Structure 1
Amino acid sequence: MSTTASSITSDVAPAGFVSILDDQLFEHGERLKDKVVIITGAASGIGKEAAIRFASFGAKIVIGDLDVVGAEQTVSDIVASGGQATARKCNVTMWDDQVELFELAIQKYGSVDVVIPNAGIGEPESFLEVKLDKTGRPQKINLPTVHVNLTGVLYSVHLAQHYLVVNQKPNTQPLKAIVLIGSMASWQAFPLAPTYSASKHAVLGLMRSLDPILTLRGIRIACINPFFADTGILPTPLKVFLAGCPLTPVPRIAGAIIYAASHPDPATSGCAYVLPDDGPVFKVPREEFKAGVYQLLEGKLHITGIIYAIKYATDIVKIVAKPLFASVIAVGLARVLWFNRETLWTSLHI
């Protein structure tokens, strides 16, 4: 590994960034005692790990998930460890489902303190394939990724603005936070995954847009941006082919969520937390979001290699089945990002 690459995966953060080690992620966890945390998509993966971690600090957990069995199992795990939790079925793309989730929190625990719109999916349908009806006209495209990853998040955040202040005592400075789940795709688009890239770019943009306003209301907001993690969102073939690329540990992602929600310094609101590999968390302060950063990323990544991968994939699709094609594409994109991560980091702090 080159010296540059090694510096990225070490505990030393690039200039302008802040490296956060594992033992620092939970240093303010005691502030979460008796706080009410709403988290969607906590039946498994990152959401489940985060829910259990929050509960370990005495937070009261309210879970919304389509997977009721998995959500109830998370609740059982928390209760078995002495914590408090409840769950209900929730389709995050349905407004009424989300309202009922927030109402459950108020009815059962009296308040809402932290909101984590964690539910998300990959890109199950190809945006690049135009399907025609019997008359030869293009059919309306389904956009499940946008509905879950963006519309669902917007619903959660919109509701959070109201419910975070319900039953709030006057003249107090309580812990109130919204933690969004982005991706490395929030920074660099994944070719052939346009709706996923668009949704995750939007989540980061949402955080940046709301930060100045929410800060005036005493509400923290942050965005967690992990690389590929070993969760249900990764299909098994992709996990196999990703062998050799360090995945971001799920417990570390959960730790970043807790850190972002519980830190007492108002200056840490509006920050992005980036987890590019199996190394430490990097905090990107709001002042490091420089004009032209996306242009720099676009120019400094090895675009030639990406274009070659796309052309190669176009030929492959004529030969292999679609599921295998999707896995190959995802692996190719993951490797492009991984092996060019030093350039990515150099660009981010210019």
Structure 2
Amino acid sequence: MTTITDDEELFRHAARSRGRVVLITGGAAGPARHAAWTFAKNGANVVIGDIFAPGAQDIVDTINRLPPGSGKAFWKRCDVTSWEDQVALFECAMTRFGGVDIVIAGARVGETQSFGTLEVSETDGKLLRPHLKTLSVNLTGAIYTTQLALHYLPKTRNQTEPLKYVVLLGFLASWTAHPDQEIFVTSQHGLLGFARSVQPTLTLNGIRIATVQSTCPPGHGDTDLTFRKTANAMFFCATNPDPNANGSVWALLQNGTIQRMEEAQERGSLGGPPAYTDL
């Protein structure tokens, strides 16, 4: 299947999420927040790691008010650029719910500094090192999350049907170049390359991986609708039993459809850059 136009198709295998434990970084806001709610609504227990306390507590409270049969949630402060924070998050999930089945690397930030502008120290007038928080959160953080998934996911063996998945939240710019978003786009190219490179290692350990790419980077035209659709695509990837989907890349296009990018690229139907490049 190359393109999904019907949202119901994204929930075709929703029953597979019931009783699972889903760990989500960046779950206090954006697509990752919607993903947390979606998994919990379909019966999964959710562990959220984020540094934004109000947003994290709000979505946890919202989930824990869902009707009987839904999953439960808790959150822990986690800076994804800190290895120690991420280890503590996974350990909390193991203690609270007894394991982890699905990992969503959903923490990301947009461009934090123009690449063409360097700051000067007020004390000695020397050029200051550029801010690379975008790279640290979007790429290093996702690598940490995936490395820990490789360690912790095989420890959970209480399901009759194995379901071990890592889903990375990316951006369509990983296929193209975009001026004025140099470091953000670099993080997305790196994320796609990492997902492709790590797939064989994860597969040998019984873990599948997929990447879901949104159209808009953080702060550039995001809407609640794009958040929800991106989250639904992540849910679809994590519950899809098709072995051929392992390593796949799915993108939310501007027309609202979900497209498998490898097949689109092979057919030469990969579209142009998102409209935000004109901002």
Show the counterpart of 2:19: 34
> Secondary structure of the residue that 1:182 maps to in structure 2?
strand
On the 8 A contact 1:46/1:250 being kept in 2, the answer is yes
Contact 1:36–1:62 under 8 Å retained in 2 = yes
Gaps of 5+ in 1: 1-15, 303-329, 336-350
Q: Which residue of 1 aligns with 2:244?
A: 267
Query: Are the aligned partners of 1:44 and 1:70 in contact in 2 as well (CA < 8 Å)?
Result: yes
Written as runs of structure 1 = structure 2, the 5 A alignment for 1:11-160 is 17-82=2-67, 83-133=71-121, 137-160=126-149
Gaps of 5+ in 2: none
Q: Distance in 2 between matches of 1:147 and 1:67?
A: 17
The residue aligned with 1:202 is 190
Q: Which amino acid aligns with 1:333?
A: T
| Distance (whole Å) between structure 1 residues aligned to residue 162 and residue 254 of structure 2 | 34
Contact 2:101 2:156 in 1 (8 A): no
Superposed displacement of residue 211, structure 1: 1.7
Deviations 1:244-302 (A, max 9, x none): xx9962221111000100001111111110112142111234x7666xx9xx98xx969
AA at the equivalent of 2:106: N
Give the AA of the match of 2:234.
Answer: I
**Residue in structure 1 matched with residue 153 of structure 2 by the alignment:** 164
The equivalent of 1:253 in structure 2 is 230
Cα separation, 1, equivalents of 2:173 and 2:276: 14
Partner of 2:277 in structure 1?
Answer: 333
Maintained 8 Å contact 2:90/2:152: yes
Structure-2 change in CA distance of 1:301 and 1:282 (3 Å): closer
Distance in 1, matches of 2:24 and 2:131, equals 26
CA distance in 1, matches of 2:107, 2:233: 17
Q: How many residues align?
A: 274
Change (3 A) 1:129 1:50: same
Deviation at 1:17, TM superposition (A): 3.1
Q: Could you tell me which of 205, 208, 211 is aligned with 1:217? A: 205
SS at match of 2:111: coil
Give the Cα–Cα distance (whole angstroms) in 2 for the partners of residues 97 and 59 of structure 1.
23
Shift of 1:137: 4.1
Q: Report the residue type matching 2:242 in the other structure.
A: D
8 Å contact kept, 1:55–1:84? yes
Task: Kindly name which structure, 1 or 2, has the bigger radius of gyration based on alpha carbons.
Answer: 1
Corresponding letter in the other structure for 1:119:
A
Question: Relative to structure 1, is the Cα distance of residues 50 and 142 closer, same or farther in structure 2, using a 3 angstrom cutoff?
Answer: same
CA-CA distance at 1:169 after TM superposition: 5.6
Paired letter, 2:151: H
CA contact (8 A) 1:248 1:275 kept: no
Structure 1 residue 332: deviation in Å?
5.6
In the superposition, relative to structure 1, how do residues 151 and 179 fare at CA in structure 2: closer, same or farther (>3 Å)? same
Deviates more, 1:93-102 or 1:172-181: 172-181
1:212 Cα offset (Å): 2.4
> What does residue 174 of structure 2 align with?
186
Q: Secondary structure at the match of 1:128?
A: coil
State the Cα distance separating 1:203 from its structure 2 match. 1.0
Whether the 8 Å CA contact 1:173–1:218 is kept in 2: the answer is no
1:209 Cα deviation after fit: 1.0
SS of residue paired to 2:196: helix
Superposition RMSD in Å: 2.7
Distance in 1 (alpha carbons) for counterparts of 2:106 and 2:248? 17
Does the 8 Å contact 1:177/1:221 carry over to 2? yes
Whether the 8 Å CA contact 2:112–2:131 is kept in 1: the answer is no
Residue 128 of structure 1 deviates from its aligned partner by 1.6
